[in-house]
Amino acid sequence: MQKTVAIGLSGGVDSALSAWKLLQDGYQVVALTMSMWDGSVEMPVVEGRAGCFGPNEGLAISQAKALADRLKIPHFVIPVAKEFSEYVLEYFRREYRSGRTPNPCVRCNQTIKFGAMLEGARKAGVEFDYFATGHYAQICDKGVDTPILWRSQDPLKDQSYFLSRLSRETLSKVLFPLGEMKKEDVKALAEKIGWVDLAHKKESQDFLECGDYSVLFNESDNTPGNFVDVSGKVLGRHRGIVHYTIGQRKGLNIGGQPEPLFVLGIDANRNEVILGKRSVLSSQYIKAIDVNLLVSQDSPLLKENLSARIRLGHSGANCKILSLTPESIEIQFEEPQFAATPGQILVLYAGNGVVASAIIESSSL
C-alpha cells in the first residue's frame, strides 16, 4: 500500500527538493506550511528579508503554495500562532528575563514544527504516515541501544543540533530526504530538473524576520542597571539584561580597561551584568537538565567517550558522562571549554549519532 508523507514546505530549495525526491521514491506527498504570524508583535517590514516569524509571512505562504502547485501536490496551511506564542515567544522572553540564553529554533522544532503543526494537520483531516522536512540530518533506527538521529553527510550544513530535542518516538516517523546529500548537490539537482530559480534563491535562517530580538520585549525589559566585576565593583551602566548573553564581548561600550571584558554572568534579581576576563568563562564540568535521551538508559554508548556541543557554533569536544538521571546529566570535558551558557542546548554524540540532549543549567572548572 502506498505510504503518504507530509512534507513541511517553506518555499525554499531544501524542502522543495525533499518533496520532489519523495515523489520519485513513490510516496504520496502532501505539503504543510505553518502560519505563525498574528500581528501581536510590533515589527517593521523589511523588504527583501526572510525569517520564520514576521509580517511578510503571507508572501512565504504564497511561495510555498506555488511550489506545491509545481509539484502537483495538495497544500495545507496550518495555523499555529497561538502555540508559537506560548511555547516559543513566551519561552524566549522568560529565559532572557531570567538571565539565560535560549535557542528558539530548537524549541520551535520540538514544540511547533514536529508538534503543534502535525497535530493541527491531523485535526484538519490531513492523513499521513510520515512527516518529512528539508533538514540536513539522517535517521537510522537499529534499536534503542543505538542512536536514531545522525549527522548529515554535509558537515557544513548538518542540522542534527537543531533536532536533538525531538523524542525517539517522534523521530521514528520522520524522513530527511536530504540527509545523504551536500548542499551543492541539492542546488545542482534543482538546476538539472529545471528549478534554476530555487537553486539561486537567497535563503535565511533568521528566527525573526527583522533580525532584532528587542521587538519581543517591552519598555520594562530595557531597565538600565550596573555592569559590575566579580567583586561587585561598578564598571558602568547597561541598557537592560535582555540585550546580553554570557560570552558576549561586543556592544558593552566599556572603555579604559587593561584587557577586553566579556559577560561572565547575568543576575536578573539585581539587574546586574557581571563582566570579567575571558579565561573566567572556561569550564570543564557542565550540569544540564530536562534530558532527552535518544538511546536506552542502559546503552553501552553512554559509558564511552563522547563528543559534546554546547551551542550551535561549537564544533564539539571530547567528554564523558559523570551522572545521568531522567531529570539531569553531568559531564566532564577532557579540556576546558569556552562559555557554556545556561539556557543553551547541550548535545552529546557517539561518533555521528546523537545520544542525548539537555538544557545547560550551570558549569564550572
Which amino acids are annotated catalytic? 108, 210
Interstrand relation of 28-35 and 4-8 (parallel, antiparallel or unpaired): parallel
Phi, psi of 78, rounded to the nearest 5 degrees? -110, 115
Interstrand relation of 317-324 and 328-338 (parallel, antiparallel or unpaired): antiparallel
CA–CA separation, 150 and 255 (whole Å): 45
Distances (CA, A) of 149 to 135, 168, 292, 330: 12, 8, 12, 21
Q: Quickly tell me which residue has 518516538 as its cell.
A: 169
Phi, psi of 93, rounded to the nearest 5 degrees? -65, -45
Give buried/exposed letters for 83-115 (b at 16+ CB in 10 A, else e). bbbebbbebbbebbeebbbbbbbbbbbbbbbbb
CA–CA separation, 310 and 357 (whole Å): 10
The DSSP bridge partners found for residue 238 are 225
